[in-house]
């Protein structure tokens, strides 16, 4: 990441952070315990194009900036940690190699461990709700997002690969 950190990279990461904030805060279906949307797309783009640190940076900074600029509820740093880890996981799995198995692994870890377990724990702590019943209601979110993410990430990684190939040749 150090050798690729230039003005172009900073501008691209800034645009991706802004996109994530818009997709997360304004273009998602959200209730107090469930959120369905496409806010993962800018994080995946950063992770695929620039690596795990960039993916984590986009996820973490976007969550923090979105919470400060457009608060939905009380700020809770656990969600920022989850957003940071989400970008890192996508980067570890998808930077330089995107296969169906790697995409499936990244989606499975992000949805089943980070979203379903970790975010459910944060919601439970934040709102004082029981973990078990909350977990069962959040399974619905994962059941919807897993196939959506598999399809969308599979599609956008092909587009990103073409873009990166053309950019390198120029």
Tell me the per-residue pLDDT of 85-97, one tens digit each, with 9 for 90 and over. Answer: 999 999 999 999 9
Q: In angstroms, rounded to a whole number, what is the distance separating the alpha carbons of residues 69 and 158? A: 33
Q: What is the pLDDT of residue 169?
A: 56
**Residues 41, 23: contact at Cβ < 8 Å?**
yes
* Cα first-last separation, the chain: 20
Residue ranges of domains in the chain, CATH in brackets: 7-169 (1.10.1760.20)
The string of DSSP codes covering 99-144 is: -HHHHHHHHHIIIIIIIIIIIHHHHHHHHT--HHHHHHHHHHHHHH
User: Which are the contacts of 101, defined by CB distance < 8 A and separation ≥ 6?
Assistant: none
Percent of all residues in the chain with a pLDDT value above 90, rounded to a whole number? 79
Q: In angstroms, rounded to a whole number, what is the distance separating the alpha carbons of residues 121 and 139? A: 13
Question: Would the pTM count as exceeding 0.85?
Answer: yes
**Residues 141, 26: contact at Cβ < 8 Å?**
no
30 vs 114, which has greater pLDDT? 114
Q: What is the residue-averaged pLDDT of the chain?
A: 92
Q: In angstroms, rounded to a whole number, what is the distance separating the alpha carbons of residues 19 and 80? A: 16
Give the mean model confidence (pLDDT) for residues 67-78: 91
Q: What is the pLDDT of residue 73?
A: 80
Give the mean model confidence (pLDDT) for residues 21-26: 94
Classified as helix, coil or strand, 148 is helix
Q: What is the pLDDT of residue 3?
A: 53
């Amino acid at each position: 990441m150090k050798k690729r950190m230039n003005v172009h990279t900073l501008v691209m990461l800034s645009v991706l952070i802004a996109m994530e904030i818009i997709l997360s805060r304004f273009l998602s279906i959200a209730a107090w315990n469930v959120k369905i949307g496409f806010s993962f797309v800018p994080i995946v783009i950063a992770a695929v194009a620039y690596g795990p640190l960039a993916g984590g940076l986009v996820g973490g900074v976007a969550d923090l900036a979105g919470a400060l600029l457009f608060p939905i509820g009380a700020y809770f740093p656990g969600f920022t940690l989850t957003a940071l880890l989400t970008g890192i996981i996508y980067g570890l799995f998808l930077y330089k190699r995107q296969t169906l198995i790697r995409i499936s692994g990244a989606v499975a870890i992000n949805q089943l461990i980070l979203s379903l377990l970790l975010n459910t724990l944060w919601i439970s702590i934040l709102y004082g709700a029981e973990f078990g019943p909350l977990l069962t209601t959040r399974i619905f979110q994962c059941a919807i997002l897993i196939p959506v993410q598999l399809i969308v990430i599979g599609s956008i990684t092909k587009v990103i690969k073409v873009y990166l190939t053309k950019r390198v040749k120029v």
